[in-house]
Amino acid sequence: MSTDLKSLIRDVPDFPKPGILFRDITTLLQKPEAFRLAIDRLVERFRGDRIDQLVAIESRGFILASAMAYQLGSGLIPVRKPGKLPSHKLAETYALEYGTDTLEMHSDALAGGQRVLIVDDLLATGGTASAAVSLARRAGGDVVGCAFLIELAFLEGRQRLSGLPVFSLVTY
């Protein structure tokens, strides 16, 4: 099994709109050895950090964070698009290149002071991850870092993450 995870990520031009090059992780996820390697590498980075909860960003972040939470013995908190969570919520609206979007998290998801790791598949401009950090902090969490499978470094998204440790496996 190749340890080159980048070679297993498919490029899809003009998705979801013309001019965008989409990094598709489904081709990596289809390979059990590669998926296991990615999860193992993400977990290894944070194993000693006493993570209480992983805050997973919809939707591919759910895939990564659930496997990581299992290995870390941590809980999992989903952060979703509006209207998807059934109970009282906190909402955070953030800027996109072409407008705004909103994320929601249950307001009672975190106990004060719990150590939180934000997890998603991709760090681009940092808007989505920054909104998740804000939600976790507003809910009483102590955000200790952010983990991503892919980072688009040229978009400088880590600059928006309040000086938090950012770990990514594959960088473009």
Active site residue 97: yes
Whose structure tokens read 């490029």? 11
Do residues 149 and 170 make contact, with C-beta atoms less than 8 angstroms apart?
yes
* Active-site entry in 23, 60, 158, 160: 60
* Active-site entry in 33, 36, 80, 97: 97
CA–chain centroid gap for 122, Å, is 7
How many other β-carbons are positioned within 10 Å of the β-carbon of residue 101?
15
Do residues 94 and 160 make contact, with C-beta atoms less than 8 angstroms apart?
no
How many other β-carbons are positioned within 10 Å of the β-carbon of residue 39?
20
Active site residue 58: no
Q: What token pair was written down for 84?
A: 């998807």
Q: Round to whole Å and give the CA distance between 160 and 172.
A: 18
| Residues annotated as part of the active site | 60, 97
